[in-house]
Amino acid sequence: MDQPILFFSGKGGVGKTTTAAAHALAAADSGQRVLLVSTDPAHNLGDAFGRPLGGQPTRVAANLDAIEIDPDAECARYIEQVKQNIRATVRSTMLEEAERQIDMAGRAPGAYEAALFDRMVAILLDEAHPGEARGYDQVVFDTAPTGHTIRLLSLPELMGAWVDGLLRRRSEHNRERSQWLGDGEVPEDPLYDLLSERRRRIARVRDLMLDPAVTAFVFVLTPEHLPVEETRRALAELDSHQLRVGALVINKVLPEEADGAFVARRREAEAEHLAAIERHFGDRRRYYVPLQAADVRDLDDLRAIARHLRD
């Protein structure tokens, strides 16, 4: 868990945000400069530190800053940026209709993830500079539940192919336009330049995410049937995108000292799921965190969880 970029994901309700916050706090306590970023629309990260968070870094502990991305605000910002980009390339008579189409696209499936990804790219390439002397030592992402995370993490590959198609079409258009003009020179095209820069940034982030020396993926689950099965499917799908999850945090494991008839029955069921975890995920690093006796409410509670991750 020491790579400059770290993603925590998992099924909703398994303690993903708490685990990510505990790890980030422990890394900050060790002297590293850490940025903790939540892309989860549930907005639980601020609750873990007892203070409101926004879209810009807020200091929540020594050496630790946190951001809580608002997906609705990012989507609105993303759509407005697209509108600004086309205003210089679309005739005034077509601009109103073009902007109406863009507004409709902003409500289409995938726009939410595209806006989040755009913000993630800005954080990694323009703001955080993870692992560099001028930036944070580590950037920790607390992502949305599994399905959203898979769509988000697979976007570099999908958007790269999509932008490549747009660039080819734009290049063909410019060649045809040059032939029509008859001067043989390809005209200046700010839209083509914009797409080329976007393709470069997507490729850069994809390279970062695929480099195991830079980026690691951690899944959080509990020893229960549904989280185990969902994790199996998610890991297989991420593997197909060359995004290998290297570690699992098995959270809320019954502690040894828990007793009583009810707990004994729960322990029997849990043993079955723990065996399944060993069977299915034996090739991944595994961290076991016991069920806490009380809610996590402050930094000391987070540090108690972090000790189990370090151990």
pLDDT, tens only, 21-50? 999 999 999 999 999 999 887 778 888 898
Percent of the chain whose pLDDT exceeds 90: 42
The Cα 304–Cα 126 span in angstroms is 34
Q: pLDDT category, 181, cuts 50, 70, 90? A: low
d(CA 152, CA 155): 5
Give backbone dihedrals phi and psi of 133, rounded to 5 degrees, phi first.
-60, -30
In a domain, 103, yes or no: no
Burial of 167 per CB tally in 10 Å (0-12, 13-18, 19+) = middle
Residues 211-264 pLDDT 10s: 999 999 999 999 999 999 999 999 998 888 888 898 999 999 998 888 888 888
Task: Mention every residue, 6+ apart, whose C-beta is less than 8 A from residue 237.
Answer: 150
Q: What is the model's pLDDT at position 1? A: 84
Given this model, what pLDDT does residue 233 score?
92
28-39 core/surface letters (b: 16 or more CB in 10 A; e: else): bbeebbbbbbbb
- Please determine, for residue 311, whether its predicted confidence score (pLDDT) is greater than 80: no
Residue 20 placed within a domain? yes
Residue 203 token pair: 């490729």
**Of 209, 272, 218, residue with least CA distance to 245:** 218
Range 143-169 average pLDDT: 76
| Residue 238, in any domain of the structure | yes
Chain segment 264-308, per-residue pLDDT in tens: 888 999 999 999 999 999 999 999 999 988 888 889 999 999 998
More confident residue, 309 or 89: 309
Residue 14 domain flag: yes
Residue 158 has pLDDT above 90, yes or no: no
Give residue 194's pLDDT: 78
**CA dihedral for 267, 268, 269, 271, sign (positive or negative):** positive
Residue type, 106: G
pLDDT bracket for residue 187 (50, 70, 90): low
Q: Which residues pair with 253 in a beta bridge?
A: 290
Mutual angle of helices 155-181 and 111-122, in 10-degree steps: 90
Question: Per-residue confidence at 61, pLDDT binned at 50, 70, 90?
Answer: very high
Residue 165 falls inside a structural domain: no
SS (H, E, C) the chain: CCCCEEEEEECCCCCHHHHHHHHHHHHHHCCCCEEEEECCCCCCHHHHHCCCCCCCCEEEECCEEEEECCHHHHHHHHHHHHHHHHHCCCCHHHHHHHHHHHHHHCCCCCHHHHHHHHHHHHHHHHHHCCCCCCCCCEEEEECCCHHHHHHHHCHHHHHHHHHHHHHHHHHHHHHHHHHHHCCCCCCCCHHHHHHHHHHHHHHHHHHHHHCCCCEEEEEEECCCHHHHHHHHHHHHHHHHCCCCCCEEEEEEECCCCCCCHHHHHHHHHHHHHHHHHHHHCCCCEEEEEECCCCCCCCHHHHHHHHHHHHC
C-alpha span between 32 and 27 (Å, rounded): 6
Specify the CATH number for the domain of residue 128: 3.40.50.300
The answer to whether position 37 is within a domain reads yes
In a domain, 246, yes or no: yes
Of the listed ranges 64-68, 167-171, 205-209, the least confidently predicted one is: 167-171
Q: Give the residue numbers spanning the domain of 277.
A: 5-72+124-153+214-310
The domain total for the chain is 1
Task: Quote the tokens at residue 130.
Answer: 């993870």
- Token output for 260: 């009583």
Per-residue pLDDT, averaged over 124-143, amounts to: 92
Note whether residue 118 is domain-resident: no
pLDDT band at 184 (very low <50, low <70, confident <90, very high): low
> pLDDT at position 258, please?
83
183-193 mean pLDDT: 66
